[in-house]
Amino acid sequence: MSILDQKISARRILGMVAGVVIIGIGIAVFKFSHLGNDSISALNMRLAEMLGISLGVQNLCTNILFFALQFWFGRKYIGLGTFVNGIGVGFIVTAFYDPIAAHFGPAEALGLPVQLLWVALAVPVTALGASLYQTADLGIAPYDYLSLGLRDYTHFQYFGCRVFTDAFCALLCWLLGGLVGLGTLICAFCLGPFIQFFNGLVSERVLQYKPEKA
């Protein structure tokens, strides 16, 4: 049964939307730390800079491209959350990053210890948002589908497919002159355990729902 065919509760919809907003806040905090974001966000930020457009518009364009692949090869992963995430995250990041940067000034001017504190804040915030979003089980974001699609069509383990897509985006970002730093590595190693932690402690209890494993 596809995600679109599921009976959806208001609690799950609210949880999904809250998760997307919290993810956006977390990415904004990562961006402010100036130590690097998760690989796809870092790549989108660099492309937005190069093209002279807002992050929201760039993120939307990238997700349209990824969604075309998802629509063609992985329709079972499409749901309401696919569109809310794909359309909204970039604009949410900008909405929160601008006032944070205006209020605190450049994070790099405050020194590495302060930058690391911002990263330490960004990790659990982003993980909480991702946990709510994933637990709501209302569709996979277009970028997240790439690793699932690779798993489905190549039969490699999901972990390896995810590492490949993240590493490819990080490499492309670096080749384009974007920021790939300590924060990128911290994302790679820390977000997963924190998401799993929040799944059982918060999301499954709040949403009163536990998704089946894909």
- Per-residue pLDDT tens over the stretch 105-126: 888 888 899 999 999 999 999 9
Q: In the 8-state DSSP scheme, what is residue 157?
A: -
d(Cα 48, Cα 58) in Å, to the nearest integer? 6
Burial of 149 (C-beta count, 10 Å sphere; 0-12/13-18/19+): buried
Non-local CB neighbours of 184 within 8 Å, separated by 6+ positions: 36, 37, 38, 39, 42, 170
Which residue, 176, 191, 184, is CA-closest to 34? 184
Cα R_g (the chain), whole angstroms: 17
- The structure's pTM equals 0.87
Ordered mean pLDDT values, 10 residues apiece, the chain (214 residues): 59 96 96 92 95 95 96 94 95 96 87 92 95 93 92 87 90 93 86 89 92 67
Which DSSP symbol is given to 199? I
